[in-house]
């Protein structure tokens, strides 16, 4: 597919203008370049946002800024931060940082671990994205020396320790609160949200490549990978056959051989699902817990599941089939819905806490986020469905320039620019560029895909 060279040049210039410098060297990108008026924290460099920028830089052969980012953010890991006198566990990576001048006029990096954020949400995903950026940097440069330094090995293990620590849980999935990842506002994604499980899985796979061979951590991680893949593939997967099984569930069962292990009542199946779910196609549901299944489709988690091989090959193909068949719902006039469907009415009141920014079909509540283009392009390219990504990127190309690269879009089909969307949103720009680079050069998949699928545990 031939993309407009002038639009690509403009997007690259916009990405370069978003770069922030520390002592004269590039270390990251601001969240949005129109953040001079009422910046809130859009003038920060967010770890999750920079993950998209890092891919765009690495695919273009720009490695210095990514290396500098990794070095400087590692120094911030487990900084002396506290809220209400309580300090977080060792290994926590910041949500964001900003370059400021101290009283002496010297440049300093000031990190936010969530203690300043709206609603004081602590990021679970920052450590995962940091690991994936480091792994992509190694793949792009062929240089393992940075990752194998004592400082980086310690940082990697601290992140893993946070995830694999002993806890009150019988599941291999990671228990997190609402607002702990890209959906950083109350949206009913507490518990075991798919996005976090997919990022967790991908980052564990990255860690096995980054940690020194022979280290005891590798065996521990590989065991967890097998258990996690088994759990997600079996309990999160939904297609029409599985829906029929859930519809006929018996409840209040006890023992090892029960079918309805989470005691889900068939009456909890939402009315929209039976109409929406195609005969040929499937996806990983958003969450599962005691007596509860979140049947919403979350794009980021499903796409990362494909890229990381958390999904089996057959499941990956079924997810792409679903996206193709439900194109108007999930893509519409701007790729890509962060989740579908939106919470409405009483559900919106209770689950979001009447969050006006997350009104129905806006922002995280069914809004369209063009930064997800890079994940769609990667998943489609990997599964031999390149034409789907080309179609989506073509839609974005026709609008993003004129709309000034907004953060998100509103409405049932993503036709409206988000009511509170910032312009020149950096990960919108970077996601657009990275998607193009993935489609133009399949070798770029090496930065984010893995060579071999790990062994999935089988449980009797």
Give the per-residue pLDDT at 82.
Answer: 64
Give the per-residue pLDDT at 352.
Answer: 94
Containing 107, the helix (H) or strand (E) segment is strand 107-112
Measured distance between the N- and C-terminal CA atoms of the chain, rounded to whole angstroms: 48
Cα–Cα distance between 255 and 267 in angstroms, integer? 23
Instruction: Please say if the pLDDT value at position 86 is more than 90.
Output: no
Structure confidence by residue, pLDDT tens digits, 185-243: 999 999 999 999 999 999 999 999 999 999 999 999 999 999 999 999 999 999 999 99
Confidence at 127, pLDDT banded by 50, 70, 90: very high
* pLDDT mean over 84-96: 81
CA angle 145, 148, 152 (to 5 degrees): 115
Picking from 286, 54, 304, the residue whose alpha carbon sits closest to that of residue 199 is 304
For residue 459, is it within any domain?
no
For residue 452, is it within any domain?
no
Structure confidence by residue, pLDDT tens digits, 419-456: 999 999 999 999 999 999 999 999 999 999 997 776 67
- The SS3 assignment for 226 reads helix
Alpha helices in 165-215 (DSSP H): 194-210
Q: Which residue has the higher pLDDT, 338 or 8?
A: 338
Structure confidence by residue, pLDDT tens digits, 261-317: 999 999 999 999 999 999 999 999 999 999 999 999 999 999 999 999 999 999 999
Give the per-residue pLDDT at 22.
Answer: 96
Structure confidence by residue, pLDDT tens digits, 39-59: 778 999 999 999 999 999 999
Confidence at 404, pLDDT banded by 50, 70, 90: very high
Instruction: Please say if the pLDDT value at position 460 is more than 80.
Output: no
Confidence at 401, pLDDT banded by 50, 70, 90: very high
For residue 457, is it within any domain?
no
Mean pLDDT, the chain, whole residue set: 93
The DSSP result for 382-437, as a single string, is HTT-HHHHHHHHHHHHHHHHHHT--S-EESTTS-EEPTTPPSSBHHHHHHHHHHHH
Instruction: Please say if the pLDDT value at position 390 is more than 60.
Output: yes
Lowest mean pLDDT among 114-118, 121-125, 347-351: 114-118
Picking from 277, 275, 395, 270, the residue whose alpha carbon sits closest to that of residue 342 is 270
Give the per-residue pLDDT at 313.
Answer: 96
DSSP code, position 145: T
Cα–Cα distance between 191 and 352 in angstroms, integer? 15
* pLDDT mean over 66-75: 97
* pLDDT mean over 147-159: 97
Instruction: Please say if the pLDDT value at position 94 is more than 70.
Output: yes
For residue 93, is it within any domain?
yes
Residue 259 belongs to domain spanning: 5-447
Contact assessment for residue 96 and residue 112, using Cβ atoms and an 8 Å cutoff: yes
Residue 45, domain CATH: 1.50.10.10
Give phi and psi for 4, each to the nearest 5: -65, 120
For residue 305, is it within any domain?
yes
For residue 425, is it within any domain?
yes
* pLDDT mean over 244-257: 93
Q: pTM here?
A: 0.95
Residue that is written with structure tokens 């330094």 in the block: 149
- The SS3 assignment for 332 reads coil
Instruction: Please say if the pLDDT value at position 411 is more than 90.
Output: yes
State how far the alpha carbon of 421 is from the alpha carbons of 47, 190, 274, in Å: 19, 25, 33
Give the per-residue pLDDT at 458.
Answer: 62
**Residue 226 exposed, middle or buried by CB count within 10 Å (0-12, 13-18, 19+):** middle
Instruction: Please say if the pLDDT value at position 7 is more than 90.
Output: no
A 10 A CB-CB count for 240 gives: 14
Instruction: Please say if the pLDDT value at position 87 is more than 80.
Output: no
Instruction: Please say if the pLDDT value at position 35 is more than 60.
Output: no
Give the per-residue pLDDT at 84.
Answer: 65
A 10 A CB-CB count for 455 gives: 11
Give the per-residue pLDDT at 6.
Answer: 83
Give the per-residue pLDDT at 457.
Answer: 65
Q: What total of structural domains would you count in the chain?
A: 1
Instruction: Please say if the pLDDT value at position 379 is more than 60.
Output: yes
For residue 280, is it within any domain?
yes
Give the per-residue pLDDT at 83.
Answer: 64
For residue 458, is it within any domain?
no
* pLDDT mean over 63-90: 84
Give the per-residue pLDDT at 459.
Answer: 60
Instruction: Please say if the pLDDT value at position 37 is more than 60.
Output: no
Give the per-residue pLDDT at 122.
Answer: 84
């Amino acid at each position: 597919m031939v993309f407009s060279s002038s639009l690509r040049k403009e997007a690259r210039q916009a990405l370069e203008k978003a770069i922030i410098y520390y002592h004269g060297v590039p270390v990251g990108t601001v969240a949005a370049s129109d953040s001079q008026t009422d910046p809130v924290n859009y003038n920060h460099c967010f770890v999750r946002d920079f993950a998209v920028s890092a891919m765009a830089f690495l695919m273009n052969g720009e490695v210095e800024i990514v290396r500098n980012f990794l070095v400087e953010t590692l120094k911030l890991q487990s900084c002396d931060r506290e809220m209400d006198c309580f300090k977080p566990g060792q290994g926590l990576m910041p949500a964001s940082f900003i370059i400021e001048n101290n009283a002496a006029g010297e440049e300093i990096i000031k990190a936010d671990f969530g203690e300043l954020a709206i609603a004081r949400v602590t990021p679970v995903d920052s450590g995962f994205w940091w690991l994936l950026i480091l792994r992509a940097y190694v793949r792009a440069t062929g240089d393992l020396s940075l990752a194998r330094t004592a400082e980086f090995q310690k940082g990697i293990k601290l992140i893993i320790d946070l995830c694999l620590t002993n806890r009150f849980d019988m599941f291999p999935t990671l228990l997190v609160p609402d607002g702990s990842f890209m959906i950083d506002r109350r949206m009913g994604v507490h518990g075991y949200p798919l996005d976090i499980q997919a990022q967790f899985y991908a980052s564990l796979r990255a860690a096995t490549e980054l940690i020194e061979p022979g280290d005891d951590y590798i065996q521990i991680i590989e065991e967890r990978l097998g258990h996690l893949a088994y759990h997600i593939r079996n309990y999160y997967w939904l297609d029409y056959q599985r829906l029929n099984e859930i519809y006929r569930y018996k409840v209040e069962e006890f023992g090892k051989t029960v079918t309805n292990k989470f005691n889900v009542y068939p009456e909890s199946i939402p009315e929209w699902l039976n109409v929406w779910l195609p005969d040929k196609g499937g996806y990983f549901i958003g969450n599962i817990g005691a007596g509860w299944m979140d049947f919403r489709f979350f794009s980021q988690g499903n796409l990362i599941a494909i890229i990381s091989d958390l999904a089996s090959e057959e499941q990956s193909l079924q997810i792409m089939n679903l996206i193709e068949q439900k194109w108007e719902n999930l893509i519409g006039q701007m790729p890509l819905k962060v989740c579908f469907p939106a919470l409405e009415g009483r559900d919106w009141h209770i689950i979001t806490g009447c969050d006006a920014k997350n009104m129905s079909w806006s922002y995280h509540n069914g809004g369209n986020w063009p930064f997800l283009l890079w994940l769609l392009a990667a998943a489609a390219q990997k599964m031999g469905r390149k034409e789907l990504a080309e179609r989506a990127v073509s839609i974005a190309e026709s609008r993003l320039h004129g709309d000034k690269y907004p953060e998100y879009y509103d409405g049932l089909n993503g036709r409206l620019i988000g009511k509170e969307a910032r312009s020149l949103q950096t990960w919108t720009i970077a996601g657009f560029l990275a998607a193009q680079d993935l489609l133009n050069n399949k070798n770029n998949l090496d930065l984010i895909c893995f060579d071999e699928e790990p062994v999935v545990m089988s449980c009797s």
